[in-house]
Structure 1
């Protein structure tokens, strides 16, 4: 289904057309087999780096493309419609780039950011822990300062790119309990004592590696701290806000893909078939799905414009993540319903999209966490 879009320049329109081509010709045909084999599509992610996707939302003075976040989230959305694992990998990496671009020292930024934006180095963020989950203030991973270094000890869970990343942004405790004792350190993958576990066996998005990562006395220079000591929650808050928009874009993308598959199936059904457009039960279901996808996209672009204008958007990002991921869950569920027993087969894309939608209600802060953030803002 054609989605009406507007762009700020012919260059943006051309870039988006190239993204659409990659999503349709490179990502979508590989998604089913890639998910079945749980193979990380590193080559495709590097291709996006070479294309310039990672540079899009960063200012030109930092080596970025200087594009709006409104444009960037549309690119992520379109990639997700092709293969969520690739789009989410790009999104997670851009979040790691954001932390370096915004909070690293000039020396560290100059050494790393250009290589990260070009896709030469892959980033990962280590927030969750086995006993902490979405509550970053409860982390137990400890970083003790010793002679200009930090000695990091602890375990992080659900680390996207775990075992594949080149650089890890690690949230650890450098002070007392609570939010005031958290700092964020950049740790190179080859540092002795950094021990990734095997990839988790997941319900969906299996091609994107997620693993536990242990830090067994890892030594990190104090120059590798992002932001100030014991002020890591400021880094995390900024990351969360941007992360919610990226996940929202992924949600809109897979919802659109599910809608497209359902419409195609209904259109190609025989006129006498109850699963075709001639059935009011099906056509009304598709109409509701289309309205929900359009509303989710409109909210996403509205919040992205707020971010572009320099307005506070934290609460709006939480609303966006809550709404768009719930829409993705409803739309993918309804897409399976449109296809009936055919939609329940593993060789149908809508079955995979349904499993992927569930993940988006959990990561970057569960939707229950989003409700807490929204309620506090009221």
Structure 2
């Protein structure tokens, strides 16, 4: 994005409208404000659009705070009608009060009605040179192609767990708050690539902690299962030990763990074991605890990829089953029984060899 904007500014080919797409909490509105700041950047030495800031310019502070008179922020979710769009159209022909461009930032643009989108089209085709539009959306497929084709599009990706861990760790060090690394990893995973959601969870963890952010308190806050006990359950299952597997699950259920969480965590650990089987170096990653990496590496040496793939598919099928059942504990128990017995099932290769052997046997008999 920076490279594209920088080249456009240098060549004087600045787009009239931009479309930012991505999931919630990854910085679409913040990015829109940064673009607005770039378009209107002005200092004693710089008076042209640029992505290379040398400190705060004349309009920067107000734009960042969302209070600049020439940078208008609108929530399309609450301004969906053609009348709301007409108000914007009526205003765009007025010159900016103090900035270089008048910028309209419209969040959740997919919420606009069909008539509102149609009202915007003519303006997007021939906007006044002093007006720029920046749209943000979480559902790009709901935006009409006629609108998309008139925008320069940027897709913002989810923030990686590694980057979120670094961000949260930096914040906690700055605030002089003690923490367990594994607790921060748990918060980063639960954020699902959203910095905003992650910071909200981090605030909750800080509010609940006394001396430090501990694994136990974060696990309770997020209603997560104990990862060590999930690994114990995984071990019982791959050994075909139904009795101990059911007892372990029952114990976790009695401690307040949601049955569906057990299956989701079991799927997550199965995925880790499978990845480590292909890439042993993955065991050194900081995205999982030392115990998880160590045990996953150990299990990867004794189970086949065929088994792990089948195990994974059965867990996913089980997750789908419990969503529509009124007694999730019973549903999970049946899934665990199937998983434990799957150890005894032959692999596709073994079945193929058996079929070939049977054919050879019949041929010899004939």
- Compare the two structures and name the one with the higher strand fraction: 1
Q: Verify same fold: TM over 0.5.
A: no
TM-score, length-scaled by structure 1: 0.25
Find the structure with the greater CA-based Rg.
Answer: 2
TM-score, length-scaled by structure 2: 0.25
